[in-house]
Amino acid sequence: MNRIFTDLRVSNFVKNKNGDWAEIESVSSDEVSIVVEGTFFIVKKDFFDIIAITLTKEILLDCDFVEMSENLFFHKKAKTVVEIKPKWWGETELRHTNTILIDKRFPGSLLVRSQYLHDLQNKFFSITGRELCSSKFMVKRKLATM
């Protein structure tokens, strides 16, 4: 089974096998429904038709984060610092990407390590009870690629 399926929830953003951005509409035990540019698709969980979106500076800026340094971004409303995967991360650091930490470097804020957009969306929702990126985000991403 494609490991990404175990982490998905409604409203997550992923890519389809063609590289188009998609939003998760529903998740069941054996399939996921996605919407790509207004078209509805059903993807069986034993296929590798859904790809995680690697976090980039551009994506975080589009989601209202402010760049603090090369790999650190801050979201003021959520009081959350996100550390995306720097080139120097090895296996030890990658094992800690599924954590939300309190870090003395950022008093009053949480430190989140994420490599993929859907993972950050899930952590953001856990922290704030709100979605990280809206449908407006998808429109903005679409316009940026035209």
The pLDDT assigned to 103 comes to 72
The pLDDT assigned to 87 comes to 54
The pLDDT assigned to 137 comes to 62
Q: What is the pLDDT of residues 59-89, one digit of tens each?
A: 898 888 999 988 889 998 888 888 886 555 5
131 vs 110: CA distance, rounded Å = 17
Residues in the chain with pLDDT values less than 70: 1-5, 46-47, 85-101, 134-146
The domains of the chain are located at: 3-51, 57-130
Taking the whole predicted model, whether its pTM rises above 0.95 is answered as: no
The pLDDT assigned to 38 comes to 84
The pLDDT assigned to 143 comes to 52
At position 40, the amino acid (one-letter code) is: F
The pLDDT assigned to 1 comes to 46
Other beta carbons within 10 angstroms of residue 101's beta carbon come to 12
119 vs 111: CA distance, rounded Å = 14
The pLDDT assigned to 28 comes to 87
CATH class belonging to 3-51:
mainly beta
- C-alpha pair distances (Å), 47 with each of 62, 82, 97: 30, 31, 25
Buried b (16+ CB within 10 A) or exposed e, 47-70: eebbbbbebeeebbebbebeeeee
